Amino acid sequence: MPLATRSMNKPAILEAHEPLAARMARTIAGISADELPAGVVDKVKLCLTDLIGCAFESRDLPWSRQSLQLAERVAGGASIVGSSGSFAVGDAAFTNAVMGHGLVREDMHSGSISHFGIVVLPALLALAQYRQVSGREFIAAAMIGYEVGGQVGRAVMDAEVAKIHRPTGITGPVAAAAAGARLLGLDVEQITSAIALGANVTVGFNQWAHTGGSEMFFHAGFAARNAVSAARLAESGAFASPSALDGEAGMFASLRKRSAASKVELFQGEPEILSVYHKPVPACNFAQTASQAALSIARDGKPGIDRIASIIVRVPRAGALYPGCDHAGPFAHILQAKMSIQYNVAAALIEGGVSEKNFKLLNDACLHKLIGLMTLEVDDEMTRAYPGKQGGEVEVRDISGATQQLRLENVVNATPSEVQNRFRAAVEEAVGKASAQEIEECIEGLDRSDDAGRLASLLEGQTK
C-alpha cells in the first residue's frame, strides 16, 4: 500500500516536466510523521541498533582511529561513538559512518546494492544535535532516506555500473541529503536543492575491491558528511539545479541511465526500508548466501578437509561480477578476504562458523588448498531471481565421490534477536552494562521522545 501523504499544491504546468529532485521533494514534504507504519518504526529502531553496535565494535580498527583523528572538537557540536566531547557536525557524521561500516556487517538493500544505514543514520544523528527534533521526525526522515536511496539505486545500479562505481557512494549522499533536509524541516524548494547538491557530491570507485584498499570505509564517511553539508547549504538558501539528477548533464546521464529516472516513484509500494536485511556474516553482501550454505554443510557433517576433492560454488551473475568477489587470492589485506566469495566459503568450511575469527586465515595453507579446489559458477536461475532473491549454492565432493550439497534460494537474514544480542555484546564491552542499557532503552523509546539528539549524546559513552 502506498504511504499516505499530506496534499501538496502543484502547478499544472509542472505535471509533465517536473524534474525528479523536485518531484521527490514534494512527496518528502508531504509525509506525515504522525502516520508512520508500525513496521517502519520498528525497522528504523533495528537499523539504529545494528549501526550503533557495529560502530562500537569497530571503534579501535585502523580506519576508525584514522577518521577520528580528523574530527575537530567544538563547543555545541555533535557526538562521536565512544569518544567524549563535542565535534563539528560534519566530522561527527563522517566518523560515525566510517565506524558503522568498519566490520563490513552493515544493513543491506539488495535492489540498489547499497548500505543506507551507514550514511543516512550517522547524518541524522549529527543533525539531531544541530537542531532539536522529535523521535518521530527522526524516524520519518530515516524512512525517507532509505526510500530515496532505494528508489534511485534500483533505477541506476546494475552489475555493469557497480563494476566501476561504488553503489553506496552514488546513492548514499542523495539519500542522506533528502533525509537531512526533511529532518531540518526545509520546504519543497530547499529539499529540492539539498537532493540536487547530494547528487553533485556522489563519490567512490570500486578499485579498492581489487587491492583491499581502505577507501571503501571512507566512502560512507564522505557521503554522510557531504549530505550534512548539502542539507545545511540548502537551509541557508543555496540553489542547486532541480534537474541535477535527471537532466542531460545530470547524475543519471553520467551513468548512462537517464531514461531510468522516470521509474523513480517514492512510496508507491512497501517502503524500501522494509526490504533491507541485516548481514549475519561480516563480509561482502555477495558472499553472504554461499557462506551460509558452506556453514550449514560444515555443521551438519563437517567434511574432512583433507578428503575434499572439489568444491563448486554457484552465485548470481551480479555476485560473480562485483569487484573483489571472484578472487582466489593472494590476500594481502583483510578487506580482500571479506570481499572474496571463495575465501568466505573456505573459511566457513574450516572454522564451522562465520565471525571475525575467519579473517585471521589470510595465509593459512589449508584455506588456500581449499580455494585451489574451488570453482565459482554463475547460476542462471539465481541470476533471474536477483535482486528479489539472492541465492547461493555450495557442492563439496570428497575423494570417494560422496557429495554434500546445499542450495539456498535467498540470503538468510540476521534476526532481530541476533542483531540485538551482538549490539549488547559490543556496547557492554565498550561502555559497560548500565550505559549499554540506557542506549538500548533510548532507541526503544525513540518514537515517544521529543529530543532525538539525546540518543546521539548517549553514544559518547566512557569506554572502559
| Three-state helix/strand/coil letters over 90-149 | HHHHHHHHHHHHCCCCCEEEHHHCECCHHHHHHHHHHHHHHCCCCHHHHHHHHHHHHHHH
Helices 38-57/117-130 angle, 10° precision: 90
Residue among 368, 362, 377 at smallest CA distance from 319: 377
Residue among 114, 98, 225 at smallest CA distance from 166: 114
Q: How far apart are CA 177 and CA 352, in angstroms?
A: 42
State which amino acid sits at residue 352. G
Say what the pLDDT of residue 7 is.
41
Domain membership of residue 197 (yes or no) is: yes
252: its cell numbers: 543519471
Say what the pLDDT of residue 8 is.
44
Of 250, 278, 306, the position where a domain reaches its end is: 278
How long is the chain? 464
- Are 274 and 289 part of one and the same domain? no
**Is the dihedral angle over the CA atoms 80, 61, 411, 177 positive or is it negative?**
positive
The residue segments making up the domain with residue 21 are 12-278
Distances (CA, A) of 126 to 5, 173, 237, 439: 26, 15, 20, 16
Could you tell me the CATH number of the domain that includes residue 265? 1.10.4100.10
pLDDT tens series, the chain, 464 aa: 457 555 444 443 344 589 999 999 999 999 999 999 989 999 999 999 999 999 999 999 999 999 999 999 999 999 999 999 999 999 999 999 999 999 999 999 999 999 999 999 999 999 999 999 999 999 999 999 999 999 999 999 999 999 999 999 999 999 999 999 999 999 999 999 999 999 999 989 999 999 999 999 999 999 999 999 999 999 999 999 999 999 999 999 999 999 999 999 999 999 999 999 999 999 999 999 999 999 999 988 767 888 999 999 999 999 999 999 999 999 999 999 999 999 999 999 999 988 899 999 999 999 999 999 999 999 999 999 999 999 999 999 999 999 999 999 999 999 999 999 999 999 999 999 999 999 999 999 999 999 999 999 999 976 55
Of 278, 308, 325, the position where a domain reaches its end is: 278
Per-residue DSSP letter, 354: -
pTM of the model: 0.94
- Are 68 and 169 part of one and the same domain? yes
Asked whether the bond before 167 is cis by omega within 30 degrees of 0, the reply is: no
Say what the pLDDT of residue 72 is.
98
Domain membership of residue 430 (yes or no) is: no
